Amino acid sequence: MKTMKKYFLLIFLILTNFTLAETIGRVMKSNGTVLIKPMGSNSYSIQVKPGQAVSNGDAIRVGESSFAVVIFLDDKSVVKIRQNTDFQFVETSNTRSLIIDQGTTLHNVNKENRKKTYRVETPVSVASVKGTEFSSFHDAVSGVDKFVGKSGNFEVLNSISGAIVNVGPGQKAVSNALGQLIPAPAEPGDFPEDPDGESTPENNNEQQDLNDEPNQQQQRPQQRQQQQRPQQRQQQQRPQQNQSSTQNSRSNPSQDPVEKSTAQSPPKKPFNMGLAVGSATINDTIYNQVALRPEFSFGRLGVGLDLVLYIDNEGNIRKDEWDEASDIIDKLLFIRWGQKSDPFWLKWGSLNNVTLGYGGLLSGYSNMMEFPSVRKVGINTGISFGKFGTELFLSNVKDFSRGGTLLGLRGTYTISETLPLTLGINFVQDMNQFSGLKDKDGDGYPDMFDDFPNDDNLWNDTDKDGIADFNGGKNAPQGGWDIDGDGNNILDSEQSEIKLKPEPFKSSNNEAVAYGFGFDIGYPVLKSKALSLEIYSEYNQLTFSESKGDTTYFQRSNLDGFGITVPGVRASLFGFLNMSFEYRIKSGYFVPQFFDGGYDLSRVTVLTTNDRVLVRTKDQTIFSDPSSNEDTKGMYGSASANIFNLLTFNASYANMKADTTEFNSFNALLNINAQNIPKLSVAQAYYQRNNDKNPFKFSEPSVNTIFGYKIGYAVSEGVNIIWDFKQYYRDSGIPGEEVEAVKQTTIETAFDF
Q: To which H or E segment does residue 292 belong? A: strand 285-298
pLDDT of amino acid 738: 72
Cα three-residue angle 633-635-636, rounded to 5 degrees: 135
How many angstroms separate the Cα of 269 from the Cα of each of 310, 345, 431?
Answer: 30, 19, 39
Q: How confident is the model at residue 258 (pLDDT cuts 50, 70, 90)?
A: very low
Mean pLDDT (the chain) is: 80
* Cis status, amide bond into 567, omega within 30 of 0: yes
pLDDT of amino acid 318: 81
Residue 209 has pLDDT above 80, yes or no: no
pLDDT digits (tens, 9 = 90+) for 673-692: 877 677 888 899 999 887 78
pLDDT of amino acid 234: 38
Q: For 651-703, give the DSSP string.
A: EEEEEEE-SS-EEEEEEEEEEE-GGGSTTEEEEEEEEEEEEES-TT-TTS--T
pLDDT of amino acid 267: 39
pLDDT of amino acid 714: 83
Distance between CA atoms of residues 435 and 458, nearest Å: 21
The closest alpha carbon to 702, from 717, 687, 682, belongs to 687
Residue 168 has pLDDT above 70, yes or no: yes
Q: How confident is the model at residue 199 (pLDDT cuts 50, 70, 90)?
A: very low
For the residues 543-572, what does the mean pLDDT come to? 89
For the residues 156-163, what does the mean pLDDT come to? 86
pLDDT of amino acid 752: 62
DSSP state of 56: T
Distance between CA atoms of residues 354 and 597, nearest Å: 8
pLDDT digits (tens, 9 = 90+) for 699-710: 888 878 889 999
pLDDT of amino acid 143: 81
pLDDT of amino acid 612: 66
For the residues 238-250, what does the mean pLDDT come to? 33
pLDDT of amino acid 227: 40
Give φ, ψ of 551 to 5 degrees. -100, 10
For the residues 714-727, what does the mean pLDDT come to? 81
Position 141: which residue type?
V
pLDDT of amino acid 403: 83
Burial environment of residue 632 by CB neighbours within 10 A (0 to 12, 13 to 18, 19 or more): buried
Of 586 and 374, the structure prediction assigns the larger pLDDT to 586
For the residues 601-612, what does the mean pLDDT come to? 74
pLDDT of amino acid 651: 92
pLDDT of amino acid 523: 94
Distance between CA atoms of residues 206 and 26, nearest Å: 11
Please state which of the ranges 319-328, 545-554, 661-670 shows the lowest mean pLDDT. Answer: 319-328
3-class secondary structure for 542-578?
Answer: EEECCCEECCCCCCCCCEEEEEEEEEEEEEEECCCEE
Distance between CA atoms of residues 494 and 249, nearest Å: 89
Residue 263 has pLDDT above 80, yes or no: no
Distance between CA atoms of residues 407 and 380, nearest Å: 10
Residue 208 has pLDDT above 60, yes or no: no
Distance between CA atoms of residues 700 and 692, nearest Å: 11
pLDDT digits (tens, 9 = 90+) for 14-66: 444 444 457 889 999 998 899 998 877 778 888 888 888 898 889 999 998 89
Residue 156 has pLDDT above 50, yes or no: yes
Alpha carbon 17 to chain centroid, angstroms:
29
Distance between CA atoms of residues 495 and 484, nearest Å: 10
The closest alpha carbon to 46, from 723, 55, 551, 570, belongs to 55
Distance between CA atoms of residues 97 and 106, nearest Å: 14
